[in-house]
Amino acid sequence: TINLKINGIAVTAPKGSTILEAARLAHIEIPTLCFLKEINEIGACRICIVELKNGKLVTSCVYPAEEGMEVYTNTPKVLDSRKKTLQLLLSNHNRSCLSCVRSGHCELQELAHELGVDDEGYYDGEITPSEIDTSAAHMIRDNSKCILCRRCVAVCENVQGIGVIGANNRGFSTSIGSAFEMGLGETSCVSCGQCIAVCPTGALTEKDYTADVFAAIADPKKHVIVQTAPAVRAGLGEEFGLPIGTDVEGKMAAALRRLGFDKVFDTNFSADLTIMEEAHEFIDRVQNGGVLPLITSCSPGWVKYCEHYFPDMTENLSSCKSPQQMFGAIAKSYYAEKAGIDPKDIVSVSVMPCTAKKFEIGREDEDANGMPDVDISITTRELARMIKKAGIRFLDLPDEEFDAPLGLGTGAAVIFGATGGVMEAALRTAVETLTGEELPKPDFTEVRGTKGIKEATYNVAGMEVKIAVASGLGNARELLNKVKSGEANYHFIEIMGCPGGCVNGGGQPQQPGYVRNTTDIRGLRAKVLYDIDTANPIRKSHENPAIKELYATYLGEPGSEKAHHLLHTTYVK
Ligand code: HC0
């Protein structure tokens, strides 16, 4: 350990700590902007400046704490330096804060307020020219609000291993963009939205479709239905000030009803349906010499990544559509027939923790009924915006239930939102199908937890079944390279595009750097889903009564011709 003094108070910190980390142990939070632990440790923004005893100002996020050091975090010199840095940032920043989507939870705005930046135009002068990039299906980049912190660059390159954005030009002309200033939509960006999740300002935002949803609801000729992804219920509460890891499933259903949706359904229903089809596909591939390992296909960022970066492995992808798309296809066929509604009059809306879902709804072969399976996909953040705009007092709402039958899901379905959840759900069904016996316990705990890559081997009906789970595309690449080189082999792999799975998706509530750096956000959100699973009396997809009825009265068997037509898709190489 190291002993030092911070603001005159003795602190003992582990060897190798930075000043920032040591200060935290003394319950002092030094402000940061660019710093993201283990992702972006570059000491670039200089907001985290502190003063040493000799009067030197150093960046605490990268400066090592040393034995005997005396550090001051709030001297007039420190505060003045931080304020000047902020004024300089703001002098080249689009300050239309009133209408900015990040207003109220912008890290730059919060700091300016905290540090009392009373003249944000103090250094006004030339502005770096910039254009708004709307070329991607899922997001908008507005460099006039960029502060060059490079968090987006770091997460794209270091976590996702994609690297489609970087710093272009130098000095005052520096801007974040793609190579040759291409639009993001022209690059091999996979739409995961992790850059949006870490952006401290309004420079990166999802394409907002809330106005389209309000318009559809207001149209009396339209029957507007909504599905909510598993992970949304574990994140939405944060937008209303609830602690990370609060389950708001019931309030969310109540809010959606009050927004005016005709039916409030749940993606969990079609997550169960996905398991029926995917477990069937897995067993079929194992028994009939099909391509193995089978790899899950429900994360559209991952699917796009596979198509771009591992095109020779698209045959390994399950042909199953994602639950979002299966839901849409069933809503405009089975549900429309049952309810006596012309599918053309249905507007199918999804609420997802994901930005790639906006891209997925427009993919080819995702239109089983001759029209898009899903019409509009919004993020958890957009839903929160709608609830606020509609004046719905979320925290005061009662808990309500989803509507039947497309609102019924099992415990197996809700864990889809955490890394390992799809695998566990699939195993619950595949094992019982293969052995013909009930599992004594439906828990496959080896695939739980937020580790980037997990492996396990199970003995199923006399066969060794090897499985692996990866989340985050950097981890996916590592795992797939091992498979390709023959270093590892598996029967079944789950891959989710975002680290930790959908709970940490690019469409979830944004948490500021200091929370991201100190809190296991994905673990807390995942716990919500596992708790819902445990509390559900039905924990296996094949026991979902609504799914049983769907097969008995409409689809026939898993893998039937009708199921294939509605629920399966194709990939591009
Ligand atoms: Fe997911 Fe999904 S679990 S991708 O993470 O499979 O977005 O939550 O909705 O479709 O169900 C996201 C979350 C989903 C889908 C489901 C899958």
Full-prediction pTM beyond 0.95?
yes
Pocket probe for ligand 1: among 247, 249, 267, 547, the residue whose CB has the most ligand atoms within 8 Å is: 267
Asked whether 322 lines ligand 1 (CB < 6 A), one says: yes
Asked whether 60 lines ligand 1 (CB < 6 A), one says: no
Cα–Cα distance, 494 to 134 (Å, whole number)? 31
Smallest CA separation from ligand 1 atom 5, residue:
502
Q: Residue 306: how many CB atoms within 10 A of its CB?
A: 26
Ligand 1, atom nearest to 325 Cα: 10
**Using CB atoms within 10 A of its CB, is residue 558 exposed (0-12), middle (13-18) or buried (19+)?**
buried
CB 48 within 8 A of CB 24: no
Cα–Cα distance, 97 to 511 (Å, whole number)? 19
Cα–Cα distance, 568 to 467 (Å, whole number)? 23
Ligand 1, atom nearest to 352 Cα: 7
Torsion sign, CA atoms 475, 480, 485, 491 = positive
312: tokens are: 């020779």
30: tokens are: 């030094």
**Nearest 5°: CA angle at 37, between 132 and 183?**
20
Smallest CA separation from ligand 1 atom 9, residue:
229
Cα-to-centroid distance, 276 and ligand 1 (Å): 15
Q: What is the pLDDT of residue 144?
A: 97
| pLDDT tens by residue, the chain, 573 residues | 999 999 999 999 999 999 999 999 999 999 999 999 999 999 999 999 999 999 999 999 999 999 999 999 999 999 999 999 999 999 999 999 999 999 999 999 999 999 999 888 889 989 998 999 999 999 999 999 999 999 999 999 999 999 999 999 988 889 999 988 899 999 999 999 999 999 999 999 999 999 999 999 999 999 999 999 999 999 999 999 999 999 999 999 999 999 999 999 999 999 999 999 999 999 999 999 999 999 999 999 999 999 999 999 999 999 999 999 999 999 999 999 999 999 999 999 999 999 999 999 999 999 999 999 999 999 999 999 999 999 999 999 999 999 999 999 999 999 999 999 999 999 999 999 999 999 999 999 999 999 999 999 999 888 999 999 999 999 999 999 999 999 999 999 999 999 999 999 999 999 999 999 999 999 999 999 999 999 999 999 999 999 999 999 999 999 999 999 999 999 987
Cα-to-centroid distance, 299 and ligand 1 (Å): 7
**Cα distances (Å, whole numbers) of residue 232 to 84, 206, 248, 302, 506:** 39, 16, 9, 19, 12
Reported ipTM: 0.92
Smallest CA-to-CA distance from 428 within 229, 211, 282, 236 is with 282
Cα-to-centroid distance, 72 and ligand 1 (Å): 47
Ligand 1, atom nearest to 498 Cα: 5
Asked whether 418 lines ligand 1 (CB < 6 A), one says: no
Ligand 1, atom nearest to 300 Cα: 4
Beta strands 376-379 and 346-352 are parallel
**Cα distances (Å, whole numbers) of residue 222 to 347, 349, 528:** 6, 12, 34
Asked whether 299 lines ligand 1 (CB < 6 A), one says: yes
Phi, psi of 424 (to 5 degrees): -60, -45
**Using CB atoms within 10 A of its CB, is residue 99 exposed (0-12), middle (13-18) or buried (19+)?**
exposed
Pocket probe for ligand 1: among 298, 330, 382, the residue whose CB has the most ligand atoms within 8 Å is: 298
Cα–Cα distance, 339 to 318 (Å, whole number)? 31
Ligand 1, atom nearest to 421 Cα: 3
Asked whether 550 lines ligand 1 (CB < 6 A), one says: no
